[in-house]
A and B are shown apart, each in its own frame.
Chain A
């Protein structure tokens, strides 16, 4: 065993990163989710973005806790690539604002990746405590939606979203082109990428085109859909 590595007082930030999809890596300082940091996901596709950020790390064996985000679509998470066997949802119950920080502290003990939303009216002190906990545990906290005064170490915002495959009365939602902007303390210049979130198979996709041929001929055939089922 390399003793130097064990006793070393510091470790570089990029040695402590959780992997992230290649298409999103340019947005993040360090090219991945650095342990101990908070990423705020905002904008029209915030839930998709938070899930997409968690995909690579959970696929590599990590567990994902979803705290106080009761609306998360399980099927969409599965399509994006989250292994559902390592997905746990935690609900704080009626005393949401009071429980949130304590609950998060307990969740951070067991999970490397936590998706949550910051309840309204949470004080700066509580947020600082939560952040310190995230740092101490070496987890990554992803917040969804407006996060109050706290913007996280990195703030990601989906600024534009354009759907493909749907028109007036025909086709169906197939893929969404989103432009994501990242800003934050460690990002001196606004970073921007355009990705398909979701792509045609439900997962994040890079690249400019999803294939125009498929776009002209949207599957599945409409009469399949129109059949009354049951």
Chain B
């Protein structure tokens, strides 16, 4: 069986570049307090992906911190995709910052793998300053590894990595098994097991008899074994699904907004996944097509080795449509770098910006000058807004009339992406659907799920984050969100039970002694008198029947801006209500109640 040859374009730590942060300054992109990506400068200081934010900041205290935004990554990657698209009509997107293409045709046209890779690198270098790796090899996995090996360093000093035809096994053999995990092809458990069994390199794994690997490690092991041996990840048998599997929706009224399109996409994806799973299949390569009335068209191939669930399809659909709609709304020289594009956008917006704002400014009357002045001084902020406005304008002009999802490659579902406790239940699906619709009703900020943050006060320990920022039905994602792997003990927290009523803000209160004066707390936690009554928010004073404390807290004394020094008390009043009361800055506050 001949393994197909692939070219992989991979931008190391793309989220950093997408956030507009230069690689030579320390920068870290985090999500849920874990490092997602870091700039080369931060990497040199010892920051690695997956690290806790605090550890990363320990390694590199002056790094810029940015929250991860996959949509931003996808948008910023769009110009690069346009460039790659000039070399082949079939670009397979794996994720923002990682694309792959079949080498055979383009390579012949451009005069060999080396020439193709050089030209690709040159083309991409013209639109971005970010580091780019290009790798050519037999099989997707080997090509991706080659791209990873080649990435890093300034663009001028890099050259693409081309593995000779049929050279993939030798190329992969000396590499550590951890590569499998880096590319998301095997989970940490399997890789750890390989390492413990003394299989340090991919060559060691590949040398095992295939039947034994399957017997011992199951389908994930077989998959890893195939990859390590340099054969293509999935045998192409049955890779051409009959065309009737495609699902599409034709809109009678053109749809111009992203929200409804994604919503329809979700329905299509559910339909598609349900159809495929009924046959025991999973889609590994998906073509997403959208067309407007004026025959503007976007078609993109998405690839995911582990197979795509419906939410994964929707996520990719959103990335693709978002970038495309923006491109439609801002016609102009395509394929320019994100930075250049922004400047161009600003120039254009200055032309029609004042026109749009004229009405407002007239209404404001005397404040015209002030407004104008502030717009001029804040170069970056208004520019971006102007761009967005334009994008909205473009969306309304020509709407999408066709949306199609076409499973391009399917394989038998080994079930390797399900956790030990099985997949998603019908209730999970239903809830996830409702969450999507609710976000449409009240906005992303109105549908929230808890996320662990840690702290010593009740309101600090969990955060509410938009449900759209996580995949609710993905067990790994959820585990990550709710508890870090190593739960910190947080010395100094109050014992269970925790308060059930935790308002967003503390309420002013007064703890009064027998003489009617406020109780004072000394620097060492001693009280001026026994508390007798509690008043909350200026309400009626309630007699205190029991109290406990103080539990002093002196947090972040090293950070003048966030330093907190307070004492905590539990106070029970005569109506049976119990409160967590704080003494801070010589005042009393109710932080939470045991309702």
Interface residues of A (CB under 8 A from B): 44-48, 51, 61-63, 65, 70-77, 79, 84-93, 99, 102-103, 106-107, 109-112, 160-163, 166-176, 198, 200-202, 219-220, 224-230
Contact = CB atoms under 8 A, between A and B. Distances in A.
Nearest to A95: B442
Contacts of A229: 456, 491-492, 553-555
A202 B498 contact: yes
Contacts of B446: 90-93
Category for how many chain B residues contact A: 35 or more
A166 B498 contact: no
A106 B434 contact: yes
For chain A, what secondary structure do more than half of its interface residues adopt (helix, strand, loop), or is it mixed?
Answer: mixed
Nearest to B482: A84
B492 A45 contact: no
Contact of A62 (B427, B458, B577): B427
A167 B557 contact: no
B462 A110 contact: no
A41 to B, nearest CB: 10
B400 to A, nearest CB: 25
26 contacts: A44-B576, A45-B576, A48-B594, A73-B592, A74-B450, A74-B462, A74-B502, A76-B498, A88-B435, A89-B448, A90-B442, A93-B443, A99-B442, A103-B438, A109-B437, A111-B431, A161-B577, A162-B576, A166-B570, A172-B494, A176-B497, A201-B496, A224-B491, A226-B552, A228-B492, A230-B553
Given A76-B500, A173-B497, A225-B492, A61 B427 contact: yes
A112 B427 contact: yes
B502 A173 contact: no
Contacts of A48: 500, 594-595
A163 B504 CA distance: 25
B449 interface: yes
A129 B461 CA distance: 37
Interface in B60-116: none
Given A93-B443, A167-B548, A173-B578, A71 B503 contact: yes
Most chain-B Cβ atoms within 10 A of its Cβ — which of A73, A102, A166? A73
A46 B572 CA distance: 16
Interface in B465-523: 467, 472, 475, 478-479, 482, 491-492, 494-504
Contacts of B450: 74, 84, 87, 89
B425 interface: yes
Interface string B167-196: 000000000000000000000000000000
Interface string B562-594: 000000001010011110000000000000101
Given A70-B503, A73-B500, A84-B482, A110 B548 contact: no
Interface in B447-464: 447-450, 456, 458, 461-462, 464
B278 interface: no
A88 B595 contact: no
Nearest to B558: A230
B343 to A, nearest CB: 36
Interface in B517-560: 525, 530, 546-549, 551-557
B428 interface: yes
B433 A110 contact: yes
B447 A88 contact: yes
Among B461, B503, B548, chain A packs the most CB atoms within 10 A around the CB of B548
A106 B548 contact: no
B435 A170 contact: no
B552 A228 contact: yes
Interface in B193-225: none
Given A87-B450, A93-B446, A230-B553, 20 more contacts: A45-B595, A48-B594, A48-B595, A63-B427, A71-B503, A74-B464, A76-B497, A86-B428, A88-B431, A109-B437, A110-B432, A110-B434, A160-B576, A161-B577, A163-B576, A173-B570, A176-B578, A198-B496, A202-B496, A225-B494
Contacts of B437: 106, 109-110
B430 interface: yes
B491 A89 contact: no
A89 B504 CA distance: 14
Given A85-B482, A166-B572, A72 B434 contact: no
Contacts of A224: 491
A142 B425 CA distance: 23
A146 to B, nearest CB: 13
A55 B498 CA distance: 16
B351 interface: no
Q: Which residue, A48, A70, A74, A167, has most C-beta atoms of chain B within 10 A? A: A74
B237 interface: no
Contacts of B435: 88, 110
Contact of B449 (A89, A107, A219): A89
Contacts of B445: 91
Contacts of A76: 497-500, 502
Given A87-B450, A88-B448, A75 B492 contact: no
A162 B47 CA distance: 51
Contact of B438 (A74, A90, A170, A230): A90
